[in-house]
Amino acid sequence: MKPAPFEYARAGSIKEASELLARDDITARILAGGQSLGPMLNLRLAQPDLLVDITGIPDLVAAERDGDSLYLGACVSHANVEDGRIPDVTNGALAEVARGIAYRAVRNRGTIGGSLAHCDPAADWPCVLPALGARAVVQGANDKREVAVEELMQAPFEPGLEPGEILAGLRIPAMSPDARWGYYKYCRKTGEFAEAIAAVAWDPARGFARIVIGALDTLPIVLGDNERLFGDTPERKPFDTYRPEEADRMLTDAGVRDPLKRQVHMVALRRALEFASA
Amino acid sequence: MEQGVGARLLRKEDDRYLRGRGQYVADIKLPGTREVAFLRSPLAHARIGDIDIPEDFANRVFTARDLKGVTPIRAVSALPGFKPSDQPPLAEGKVRQVGEPIAMCLGDTRAEAEDVAAAVMVDFEELPAVHDMLQARRPGAALVHEEWGDNVFLETFVDDDIDAAAAKAAVKVTREYRTARQCMAPIEGRAVLAYWDSRMEVLTVYTSTQMPHIVRTGLSECLGLSEENIRVIPPDVGGGFGYKGILLAEEVCLCWLAMQTGHPVRWIEDRREHLTASANCREHHYRITAYADSNGKLLALDAEATVDSGAYSAYPFSACLEAAQVASILPGPYDFEAYRCRTYSVATNKCPILPFRGVARTGVCFAMELTLDAIARELGIEPAEVRLANLVKPGQMPFDNITKKHFDSGDYPEALRRAVAAVDIPAWRKRQAEGEKDGRLIGIGMSIFCEQGAHGTSVYAGWGIPMVPGHEQAGVRMTPDGGLEIRVGVHSHGQSMETTLAQVAHEVLGIDTARIKIVHGDTGLTPYSTGTWGSRSMVMAGGGVATACEQLGDRIKAIAAHLLQAKPEDLRIAGGQVFSGDSSIALNDIARLWYRKPQDLPPDVDTSGLEVTAGYKPKRDSGTFSYAAHAAVIALDPELGDTEILDYVIVEDGGVLVNPMVVDGQVHGGTVQGIGTALYEEMPFDESGQPLASTLADYILPGAAEMPDIRIEHMETPSPYTRFGVKGIGESGAIGPPAAIANAINDALRPLGAEVTDTPMTPRRVLEAIAKAKGTEGEGGQA
Ligand SMILES: Cc1cc2nc3c(=O)[nH]c(=O)nc-3n(C[C@H](O)[C@H](O)[C@H](O)COP(=O)(O)OP(=O)(O)OC[C@H]3O[C@@H](n4cnc5c(N)ncnc54)[C@H](O)[C@@H]3O)c2cc1C
């Protein structure tokens, strides 16, 4: 379990990194916290010629309030989110989720951008960021674009990034003070990957409601169309009119054929909703 | 401060361990060392065709063809009908398990050696694999060893007539149980560093093992090199649990390579190799019918047990130790009259099974204790009552049970009563009846079992495996400045023997434990021993140290007698002094005289010197019987199937405890492993024999966050047969938890009419049990 040979470069700027990544004579791969890529290298599931370490790029560790949203550089660690070293715009949701990721040693190094770019369906951020309506800021050597996080993720373990593109940061909308959120992750033991994840956010002042069901074989199910789950009364608290048959049908449609698995996802969803409406 | 037997002495070895200064195989640096990576079989069962080695690597890749003069590892048992399996150190002709070593590849670093391994191409002709021990016995199953004609290493029978007793029964319960295949997961995996010492003309092998002398004997047999030319050194070993009680194919290979190349070579096992390639444990299946009267008193037991032994018979314990043990220990601490048991040690295309902490006792306790609870539920009486109706009583001690196991001492009902009192069952029953606010179900469960430990010659001679323990020897030597060196052939890797054996010596000679050094882990420095296994070290090596210290004491007295002008038999050793009445002489002074001022000794002095090696066996070698009652309270989430342990109590009787703090540590560690067996650990295989948990992301170990505060109470009934009355206790913790927790889960599930019978009791298995009881496949939309 030792990696195949590779070269290593530590980029000083996004431009430098994306130039290295855009080279077509070699395969290059971004290294952020290394908490997912490291094991893949050791198992020889990934055998790049070059690793481009982006954690030394100052822009990527920025964390600042920007009008109605929070901008988080991709290399902000789970631990910095957990410890409240970033402004809180989500009524505590980000810190609470960060605290439940893996173990502290992993959180010290693992990054929010790396987690999203890894697109692991059982990971926390790929479920929570869509629930919060976050947008991804993507930067290439010359241009920059913004896209909803759920659109960035193309398939499990496949972010929609062009050669040379880097996920530079995330823009997370600020919640109103009376907005509610709920998160329920079920795993076999502390630090294990999830068997079921449900994230809900509900911000009546902004007319925003989201439900995300994760830890599936596919990318998370993101529901912005709350009518399908709650009927036609979005002004009421999420749990009041929750329609379990609908969620069950969505899970079946997403390929979860096993009734016991569906049961576990449904319980997670109900508990997230209960948390949000408590 | 007290330092002798019974003292809670802080561990001598902790200073280096807690400061990270232990020395493990991987810490040892020898100039010129090259690294080995093994090319291993990706298939469970296949014929090997051509092996294509790139020309660049021609002298860096070695296969079975190269290992001239090396003979296969062969661990036979003398039990009638046993079919031996030859395990070639590198596969020949056929591979019989995923992970079986095919080629040894050399590099300057491990990564380079893995590059070489990745470049070697092997042609395989895949064969149907035997992936399940029950299917393995069916006609038409693929054959792991064609020449056998079936897949059974050994069948055993205890064939009493049970029909008469069974006819009188008021209740009859029948159950099937399965315990999952597990990995032993020591923090340090295996590791081997071998080189040829040309000055001594000795093959020196650093290896992470529990039994250095047995490894030396095994290496000698496989390599055709005599034992005085082999030195085996296990330095610090980061956990064993049985996983390191084996002669490894890799050890044989590395030794051959070291002699072949003339430079040091090393192989450090990685986690994937540990999980999938080397050895697993615990996989049992039981079919049991128990007959009882209306009070729950057992009348007869009818059992069939199957153990998945994997592809090869591991050296030295063999492929049948586990199943043969099942037949003899299934009755546990219960006294009943009629017993029938058939066991099968079955070969499959999986890695060999090794005895893990608790060996067969964990599975046996699970099967027996779940059966007793099934009887209790059937009769509607408290599980503790059923046990009390059946447990051997203190007045019966010493007691020979139905399988002729000789129980040395103890009060089993008292242990159970204390455990029941400690968890306060009535209070929990009340809470259980009221119901939890969060909808979880409370369950209370218990288990009680005995742990035969330190069983010796008579027991093992009957099994006729490559290793039979005899008298355990210990060497003691006084240094010229009055310190004491103790040499033992057992190995301490978590057992705290550097402390507890010093306590034993202190008890006899009164020397300060700070001046006592335990030397272990080197065949060049220590007397022969079968090593550390079977909860034997404190009983056997402790007895050996005491015996050697007593004999050393006699020699000291012989010298002191001259100096104190008294008769040796009138002298008394205490607190590092020899006393004759009120006058005394310090042991240091005697040491100084003997070694450095011999001119002051009388001419007719006893010439034997201040160094003794002595052997020891208890008065009976049929084993000590420690025992424990475990009680668990759990909360079960019926929607997710998740179990949380709310309280866990152990009442343990390990005879006289040399160091109660160390025993607590042993019991805690074992219990955590037992909780792993109960709730988390499982190595599943697919139909083609692929192990499905090849990293620790898939193989789930218990973690600190999930562990309860384990409460331990001690009873100390001395063994009448051993020095100081000690009993073996090292494995105990790992035996009771799966049964106690399963019984608690089944107690919680009772209102739903559901029952679990297989380990680990994962949320999934619990949900399946609930769904089965409801007659649905699951709830789907009902959440
Ligand atoms: C023991 C363990 C337990 C874990 N448990 C959990 C858990 O419970 N929940 C959870 O969510 N996660 C868990 N993780 C994963 C952890 O959170 C990782 O840190 C995270 O998934 C990846 O972040 P990273 O910074 O380490 O990325 P890396 O491992 O460095 O990279 C991951 C992938 O993303 C790419 N990448 C990284 N950054 C960027 C970027 N800015 N732009 C484009 N591509 C990029 C890399 O090329 C690579 O393909 C666990 C990890 C471990 C080792």
- Mean pLDDT across chain B, nearest whole number? 96
Residue A268 reports pLDDT greater than 70: yes
Distances (CA, A) of B618 to B74, B383, B731: 31, 36, 20
CATH of the domain at B219: 3.90.1170.50
d(CA B708, CA B15): 27
| A45 touches B: beta carbon within 8 Å | no
Residue pair A251/A217 in contact (Cβ under 8 Å)? The answer is no
Angle of CA points B434, B440, B442, to nearest 5°: 60
The arithmetic mean of pLDDT across residues B244-271, rounded, is: 97
Answer yes or no: do B776 and A245 touch at CB < 8 A.
Answer: no
d(CA B39, CA B308): 25
- pLDDT at position B220: 98
CA distance A53 to chain B (A): 21
Answer positive or negative: Cα dihedral of B94, B98, B101, B103. positive
Residue B525 covered by a domain: yes
Neighbour tally for B22: CB within 10 Å:
15
| B695 touches A: beta carbon within 8 Å | yes
For residue A236, what pLDDT band results from cuts at 50, 70 and 90?
low
Q: Do B391 and B500 share a domain, yes or no?
A: no
Q: Residue A31: what are its φ and ψ, rounded to 5°?
A: -115, 120
| B439 touches A: beta carbon within 8 Å | no
Q: Which domain holds residue B510?
A: 471-616
Closest CA to B272 of B664, B716, B698: B698
| B146 touches A: beta carbon within 8 Å | no
The arithmetic mean of pLDDT across residues B665-681, rounded, is: 98
Both structure tokens of B509: 């000679």
CATH of the domain at B497: 3.30.365.10
What are the tens digits of pLDDT across the range B459-478? 999 888 889 999 999 999 99
What are the tens digits of pLDDT across the range B334-361? 999 999 999 999 999 999 999 999 999 9
d(CA B705, CA B650): 20
The arithmetic mean of pLDDT across residues B663-669, rounded, is: 97
Q: What's the CA-to-centroid distance between B764 and ligand 1, angstroms?
A: 27
The arithmetic mean of pLDDT across residues B251-270, rounded, is: 98
Q: Where are the beta strands (DSSP E) in A110-256?
A: 135-139, 144-148, 153-155, 158-159, 166-173, 180-186, 196-203, 208-214, 221-223
Domain boundary among B564, B590, B616: B616
The arithmetic mean of pLDDT across residues A139-152, rounded, is: 94
Neighbour tally for B135: CB within 10 Å:
15
Q: Do B103 and B220 share a domain, yes or no?
A: yes
Which atom of ligand 1 is nearest to A120's Cα?
21
Domains of chain A: 7-53 (3.30.43.10), 58-173 (3.30.465.10), 180-277 (3.30.390.50)
DSSP assignment string, B121-170:
EEEEEE------HHHHTSTT---SSGGGSSSEEEEEEEE---HHHHHT-S
For residue A237, what pLDDT band results from cuts at 50, 70 and 90?
low
Helix (H) or strand (E) holding B327: helix B321-329
Residue B713 covered by a domain: yes
The arithmetic mean of pLDDT across residues B699-708, rounded, is: 94
CB-CB neighbors (< 8 A) of A259 in chain B:
771, 776-780
- pLDDT at position B782: 41
Residue B740 covered by a domain: yes
How crowded is the C-beta side of A111, counted as CA atoms within 13 Å? Answer: 27
Q: Do B661 and B601 share a domain, yes or no?
A: no
Q: Do B647 and B743 share a domain, yes or no?
A: yes
Q: Do B268 and B399 share a domain, yes or no?
A: no
Q: Do B594 and B642 share a domain, yes or no?
A: no
Residue B309 covered by a domain: no
Residue A227 reports pLDDT greater than 90: no
- pLDDT at position A253: 93
Closest-CA residue of chain A to B110: A2
Q: A-B interface: how many C-beta pairs under 8 angstroms?
A: 86
The arithmetic mean of pLDDT across residues B134-143, rounded, is: 96
- pLDDT at position A251: 94
| B702 touches A: beta carbon within 8 Å | yes
| B110 touches A: beta carbon within 8 Å | yes
Q: What percent of chain B has pLDDT over 90?
A: 95
d(CA B62, CA B284): 36
Q: What's the CA-to-centroid distance between A110 and ligand 1, angstroms?
A: 6
Q: Do B363 and B496 share a domain, yes or no?
A: no
Q: Do B436 and B567 share a domain, yes or no?
A: no
Q: Where are the beta strands (DSSP E) in B180-243?
A: 191-197, 202-207, 230-233
Q: Do B266 and B393 share a domain, yes or no?
A: no
Residue B528 reports pLDDT greater than 70: yes
The arithmetic mean of pLDDT across residues B390-398, rounded, is: 98
Both structure tokens of A242: 């929750």
Residue pair A65/A43 in contact (Cβ under 8 Å)? The answer is no
| Residue located nearest, by CA, to atom 36 of ligand 1 | A114
Answer yes or no: do A267 and B639 touch at CB < 8 A.
Answer: yes
For residue B513, what pLDDT band results from cuts at 50, 70 and 90?
very high
The arithmetic mean of pLDDT across residues B216-238, rounded, is: 98
Closest-CA residue of chain B to A249: B781
Residue B583 covered by a domain: yes
For residue B755, what pLDDT band results from cuts at 50, 70 and 90?
very high
Both structure tokens of A2: 């030792």
Residue B19 covered by a domain: no
Among A189, A190, A229, the residue to mutate for chain B (most B Cβ within 10 A): A189
Question: pTM of the entire structure?
Answer: 0.96
Per-residue burial over B144-174, b if 16 or more Cβ lie within 10 Å, else e, is bbeeeebbbbbbbebebebeebbeebeeebe
CB-CB neighbors (< 8 A) of A38 in chain B:
none
What are the tens digits of pLDDT across the range A249-264? 999 999 999 999 999 9
Q: What's the CA-to-centroid distance between A203 and ligand 1, angstroms?
A: 29
Per-residue burial over A20-50, b if 16 or more Cβ lie within 10 Å, else e, is bbeeeeeebbbbbbbbbbeebbbeeebebeb
| B761 touches A: beta carbon within 8 Å | no
What are the tens digits of pLDDT across the range B65-78? 999 999 999 999 99
Closest-CA residue of chain B to A250: B781
Q: Do B597 and B745 share a domain, yes or no?
A: no
What are the tens digits of pLDDT across the range B543-590? 999 999 999 999 999 999 988 999 999 999 998 999 999 999 999 999
Answer yes or no: do B680 and A189 touch at CB < 8 A.
Answer: yes
| Residue located nearest, by CA, to atom 37 of ligand 1 | A114
Distances (CA, A) of B321 to B153, B240, B308, B400: 11, 18, 12, 21
What are the tens digits of pLDDT across the range A26-48? 999 999 999 999 999 999 999 99
Residue B30 reports pLDDT greater than 80: yes
Domain boundary among B584, B616, B648: B616
CB-CB neighbors (< 8 A) of B781 in chain A:
244-245, 248-249, 262, 266
- pLDDT at position A207: 84
Residue B782's contacts (CB-CB under 8 Å, 6 or more residues apart) are: A244, A263
- pLDDT at position A233: 60
Closest CA to B783 of A222, A251, A276, A238: A251
| A5 touches B: beta carbon within 8 Å | yes
Least confidently predicted of A228-242, B175-189, B505-519? A228-242
Residue B170 covered by a domain: no
DSSP assignment string, B682-737:
---B-TT--BS--STTTSPPP-GGG---EEEEEE----SSSGGGB---TTGGGTSH
d(CA B445, CA B382): 10
Which atom of ligand 1 is nearest to A29's Cα?
47
Q: What's the CA-to-centroid distance between A51 and ligand 1, angstroms?
A: 15
d(CA B682, CA B281): 10
Residue B783 reports pLDDT greater than 50: no
Number of domains in chain B: 3
Q: Residue B19: what are its φ and ψ, rounded to 5°?
A: -95, 10
What are the tens digits of pLDDT across the range A150-167? 999 999 999 999 999 999
Residue B601 reports pLDDT greater than 50: yes
Q: What's the CA-to-centroid distance between B701 and ligand 1, angstroms?
A: 22
Q: Do B481 and B434 share a domain, yes or no?
A: no
Domain boundary among B255, B276, B297: B276
Q: Residue B25: what are its φ and ψ, rounded to 5°?
A: -55, -45
Residue A169 reports pLDDT greater than 90: yes
Residue B149 covered by a domain: no
Q: What percent of chain B has pLDDT over 70?
A: 99
Closest-CA residue of chain A to B766: A260
Neighbour tally for B360: CB within 10 Å:
26
Q: Do B555 and B628 share a domain, yes or no?
A: no
CA distance A148 to chain B (A): 30
Q: What's the CA-to-centroid distance between B105 and ligand 1, angstroms?
A: 32
Q: What's the CA-to-centroid distance between A37 and ligand 1, angstroms?
A: 7
Ligand 1 binding pocket (C-beta < 6 A) is A 29-37, 54, 74, 101-102, 106, 110-111, 113-115, 117-118, 120, 123-125, 161, 166-167, 191, 193
d(CA B59, CA B116): 11
For residue B749, what pLDDT band results from cuts at 50, 70 and 90?
very high
If one compares A240 and A117, the residue with the highest pLDDT of the two is A117
